[in-house]
Amino acid sequence: MQNRKSSVDELIALILTGIEDVKGHDINILDLREIENTVCDYFIICNGTSNTHVNAIVGSVQKTVSKAIHDKPWHVEGSDNAEWILMDYVNVVVHVFQKHARSYYDIEGLWGDAKVTSIESSFNQ
């Protein structure tokens, strides 16, 4: 069990690095482990400023994770219009939104019982 936890922690750290490398905004981690019947352990949510920026974030996350631990998402959805792209790493699901789509779908509100950790960005937004 400890190996699984450390590998999930490493995956989360790599995903955050990929997001921050291309200046993703408003990064939140939702810990879903205490909620019954969830599809994964964590959501990582962020937003980009345009469809190009959203695609760049997704590409950076995939490249960072693949290079470091040779893992790739089990499934990716939403790349066609890039308003909301979901990357499913099984235990961790990454949601990359454009700001208007993030406000509209309000994932943080839907999962209000989750423990939320906001990540401070190392750059000025």
pTM: 0.92
Interacting residues of 106 by C-beta distance below 8 A, sequence separation 6+: none
Q: 64 lies in a domain?
A: yes
**What is the rounded CA–CA span in Å between residue 80 and residue 28?**
24
19, 27, 55, 88 from 120: Cα distances, Å: 12, 8, 21, 23
125 occurs within a structural domain: no
Q: Is residue 45 part of a domain?
A: yes
- Name the domain count of the chain: 1
**Is 11 contained in some domain?**
yes
Given a cut of 50, whether residue 53 has pLDDT beyond it is: yes
- Do the domain assignments include residue 9? yes
Kindly list the strands in the beta sheet with 92-98, ordered across the sheet, starting from the edge strand earlier in the chain: 75-77, 84-88, 92-98, 42-48, 25-31, 115-119
* Predicted confidence (pLDDT) per residue in 107-118, tens digit: 999 999 999 999
In this structure, is residue 10 part of a structural domain? Answer: yes
CATH number for the domain harbouring residue 25: 3.30.460.10
Whether 124 maps to a domain, the answer reads no
Q: Is the pLDDT of residue 104 over 60?
A: yes
The answer on pLDDT for 90 being more than 90 is: yes
Domain that holds residue 29: 2-119
